[in-house]
Amino acid sequence: MQESNKKRYFYNFFMRNRNLFKEAFLCMIFAFTVLCIVSWIGISLNFFSPFKNAFKDFSYLDMYYAEKLETNDPNINENIILVNVDRRNRKEIAGMLQKIQESQPKVIGVDVIFKDLEDPVWDRFLSEFLKSENIVAAYVLNDDKRIISNKNILEEGVALGYSNFNFDDESAVIRNFRGVYKKNDTILEAFGTAVSKKFMAQDWDIGMESYLSIDRPINYSGNRDFFLVLEYDEIMNGEFSPLIKDKIILVGYLGNPIQHRFDLEDKHFTPMNPRFVGKSPPDTFGLVIHANIVQMIIEGNFIKVVPNWIRILLTIVLTYMALCYFIWLNKRQLASYILRLNIVQLFFIVFFVWVALLLFRQKLLFKTASITAVMVFSIGLIGFYKKLAHYLYKRFKWEGFFFHD
């Protein structure tokens, strides 16, 4: 009997409000159509590109990294050691590699490209230390062409990895990473992937290649201060030799030891920039980004991404519910409509930012900006839809919520 009363209640509720539900659905279709047209115009016209890119380079989730770097303890990473080549010549770089090899590291990643030949003696000397089994060398992938070290310095058979982080040319901020690049029958590994694979050896999961074949968010562990950075003199003096054994050594450019903060060479914008609004200047050396990627891979500490279908479903459901409420409010309580509209819109924005940050702390990336934008945009079109409904009512005797009780 009680179950029957519930069914009757919901049936009566639906019948009383069927025009409202129909009106909200049609308004949502109208809003989505307008949104598609506006989006198409924005994509087609280059005029909007600077605005699109500006918003693409901004994410309120960057606040998480700003807070993380301020509150985290200053413990140094023990798995990965960075070696700064600064502006050393090839003789000095070869000497550093020799000293590093004597300390028996497990992997040495060399993020330096020796494109042209210089002194034959020292080029050959350098080449000898780039042959080792534990070496991974970097190259740049540019329009499917490799910019790689000269073949007289880097011989065939050496493990290679492209130093590109991703292939998104429109975004200046390095948030994502593609560990495996596939095109036709060609499969190439990123520098961070190749280093991690060599370090993990038998523990490497073959399924990781498929997982890394699309862009994945980088889970940044820390900036330059998070890693032990060794300079030329420290390497040659052997001060840190005991620490190098069985570790990952990444060799590359990290600027002048004293003034590196003002050095812009091979620096990139990242979410770790303390100025997450109006990022300037670039904040992180490429070698440090590679170190974060390697740390993420060897620990399996990835950021999961909420699937697009869930975001789309939530966008449709929440937009429809919001339209039901505001269409009802627009007709019944017009005096408080604008005030409530602004309050609810502000609530949704703050709420979704809070949810996104909360989930991001749990290593779950939930991009809520699109949900909020679609909802706010759709609600803002209720007035235009009402005028369209009024026109249809006058011309075709349209029966809807606005013009039928």
Query: Residue 180 contacts by C-beta under 8 Å, 6 or more apart in sequence?
Result: 187, 188, 189, 190, 193, 209, 210, 212, 213
User: Mapped to the 3 state alphabet, what secondary structure does 134-162 carry?
Assistant: CEEEEEEEECCEEECCCCCCCCCCCEEEE
246 in helix, strand or coil?
A: coil
Q: Does residue 57 belong to any structural domain of this protein?
A: no
Q: In which band, very low, low, confident or very high, does the pLDDT at 51 lie, cut at 50, 70 and 90? A: very low
Same-domain check for residues 266 and 350: no
Same-domain check for residues 289 and 321: no
Residue 230 has pLDDT above 80, yes or no: yes
Residue 16 has pLDDT above 60, yes or no: no
Same-domain check for residues 369 and 403: yes
Same-domain check for residues 292 and 403: no
User: Which pair of tokens denotes residue 170?
Assistant: 């429109």
* Model pLDDT, residue 288: 92
pLDDT digits (tens, 9 = 90+) for 317-345: 988 888 888 877 776 666 666 777 778 77
The fraction of the chain above a pLDDT of 70, given in percent, is 79
| Residue in 338, 393, 390, 348 with CA at minimum distance from that of residue 370 | 348
**Hey, how many other C-beta atoms are within 10 angstroms of the C-beta on 55?**
11
Average pLDDT, the chain: 79
Residue 279 has pLDDT above 60, yes or no: no
Q: How many domains in the chain?
A: 2
Same-domain check for residues 285 and 311: no
Please say which residue of 252, 269, 302 terminates a domain: 302
What distance in Å separates the CA atoms of residue 88 and residue 95, rounded to the nearest whole number? 10
Please say which residue of 279, 302, 325 terminates a domain: 302
Residue 203 has pLDDT above 80, yes or no: yes
Domain range spanning residue 338?
305-405
